[in-house]
Amino acid sequence: MRLSVTSLRRLVKRKLHVEFVEQELTSYSGLELLRRYLRQHEVPRRLRAACANTAGDYGGSRLALLVLALFYVGARRLEHLRYVAGDPLIARFCGLARIPTARTVGHWLRQFTQATLAPLVQLNHALVIDAVQRLALPRLTIDLDGTVVRTGATVGWAFRGFNPHHRKDPSYYPLLAHLAQTGHILRVKNRPGNVHDSKQAAGFLREVIDGLRAAFGRRLPLEFRMDAAFFQRDVLRLLAAQGCAYAIKVGYWSWLPLKQLAATRQRWLPVAPNVTGFFHDLHIPQWNLQLRVMIYRKHVQHESPRNFQLDLFTPDDGHFEYSAVATNLALDLPALYAFICGRGAQEKTIAELKGEFALDVVPTRHYGANSAWQQLSVLAHNLIRSFQLDTLATPKRRSRKRTYMYLIRSMRTLRFLLIARAGRLARIGGRHVLRLAHNPATETLYAQIDHRLTA
């Protein structure tokens, strides 16, 4: 059918008059589907137990759900509560008749201490374990890394530390354990910004391993990937004692003979395009350890801090970036290179945590409150990952990098497709009904999710 040009266009002469009136309208209809999912997995009840040590008229679990709702609708700060206070779906999502002020939520967050935060950490871990058990994964690959969170000058336990872009700014330096197959965050631990990346890493790693062993026993293989900051004697001995596989970057430090080994090497084996390398059994007498190390180099067209061109080779050989990886995995050179490169996928997850779940926001000056905010940010991220895995996600082709096994939509995409949909709450036939504008694509998506939730 051919349409005329005039039927495609519309003439708009005047501006619309804007009025604000009391109506049962919502901008976030998709929260109803998320609310059903959370109730199916008893998240409100479990949050009530995790927040039992915090007092307040609104209830700790309902305030926690309110913070989760803020993340899902795109709000990043407690001050944004003023702009969503009249939305009936947000009130319904967290079970509140009246949305509290930012001051009230801030006072509630400041009740968290190291002791009262522990149940929330355990709840996050338990929800991830539940999701992994439903998937029946053949192995778990965990990436450990820290990330910088800039703070104000008067924030508690924030200090100047490793921040190459803002060296004088105080910061936090939380440590995260990322599950590569699904993108969940197994555990997060907030730390002051002036600590080394490996500070408290052995204890953190032991908590992660103990939690996974308690849930799955020793039948499920565990693999860990870390950068050179975690190349520490305590970490290596812990992983070996626990029977865990690992691949850890090794720094070209002066007390290790890596540079000399690369200089005297005559035959470099092909690893990947423009990448060559070799294996070497490295003995470290200071630690009394014997490690299998892959030394590799990547041909580049520029000089970088990792170039040893002038010391090792003649100028006509080009420029190389040298790296090394210690491992106990029985992989050949190409497979190990792909495996260690898969560690970069966690950067996407951390970027989404900061950009869409406000991990980089510091709501108060209180260290315990800011740590609780980080836990809630990770909890919101993990729940939306589990929601997609149970409703929308489709399997991906297997990769030697051992990254995401499922096609997961970003939070920004999911917010546009599902959550940020205008609707009206109506009462028809004695029951509440959420009515949305007719849109075939949205109707199909909602019907698909509803079918999965009721299956």
Do residue 141 and residue 39 come from a single domain?
no
- Are 188 and 176 in contact, with CB atoms under 8 Å apart? yes
Question: What secondary structure letter does DSSP report for 78?
Answer: G
Do residue 320 and residue 383 come from a single domain?
yes
Residue tagged 């500070």 (tokens): 199
Do residue 128 and residue 228 come from a single domain?
yes
Do residue 183 and residue 47 come from a single domain?
no
- Are 300 and 276 in contact, with CB atoms under 8 Å apart? no
Range 95-114 average pLDDT: 96
In a domain, 260, yes or no: yes
Alpha helices in 168-304 (DSSP H): 201-216, 233-241, 258-264
pLDDT in tens, 206-245: 999 999 999 999 999 999 999 999 999 999 999 999 999 9
- Are 149 and 173 in contact, with CB atoms under 8 Å apart? yes
The phi-psi region of residue 391 (left if phi > 0; otherwise alpha if psi is between -120 and 50; otherwise beta) is: alpha
In a domain, 266, yes or no: yes
Residue 362 pLDDT > 50: yes
In a domain, 14, yes or no: no
**Structural domain count of the chain:** 2
Which band of pLDDT confidence, cut at 50, 70 and 90, is reported for residue 318? low
Do residue 212 and residue 251 come from a single domain?
yes
CA angle, corner 212, sides to 66 and 290, nearest 5? 130
Do residue 103 and residue 225 come from a single domain?
no
Do residue 152 and residue 46 come from a single domain?
no
Range 341-364 average pLDDT: 96
CA atoms within 13 A on the CB side of 62: 16
Sign of CA dihedral 345, 348, 354, 358: negative
Last residue of a domain, one of 389, 410, 441: 389
Residue 312 pLDDT > 60: no
| Domain housing 229 | 114-389
Cα–Cα distance for residue pair 71/83, rounded to 1 Å? 14
pLDDT in tens, 271-287: 999 999 999 999 999 99
pLDDT in tens, 38-90: 999 999 999 999 999 998 899 999 999 999 999 999 999 999 999 999 999 99
Which band of pLDDT confidence, cut at 50, 70 and 90, is reported for residue 131? very high
Cα–Cα distance for residue pair 329/333, rounded to 1 Å? 11
What CATH number does the domain containing 275 carry?
Answer: 3.90.350
HEC readout, 380-448: HHHHHHHHHHHHCCEECCCCCCCCCCEECCCHHHHHHHHHCCCEEEEEECCEEEEEECCCHHHHHHHHH
Last residue of a domain, one of 367, 389, 411: 389
Do residue 138 and residue 85 come from a single domain?
no
Do residue 182 and residue 305 come from a single domain?
yes
In a domain, 335, yes or no: yes
Instruction: Pick from 155-159, 263-267, 370-374, 426-430 the range whose average pLDDT is largest.
Output: 370-374
Amino acid at 355: G
What the block records as the tokens of 369 is 């409150």
In a domain, 168, yes or no: yes
Q: Helix (H, G, I), strand (E, B), or coil: what is residue 348?
A: helix
In a domain, 427, yes or no: yes
Burial label for 16, CB within 10 Å (0-12, 13-18, 19+), is: exposed
| Predicted local distance difference test score (pLDDT) of residue 309 | 43
Do residue 107 and residue 125 come from a single domain?
no
In a domain, 2, yes or no: no
Do residue 38 and residue 169 come from a single domain?
no
DSSP 123-153: HHHHHHHHHHHHHT-S-EEEEEEE--EE--T
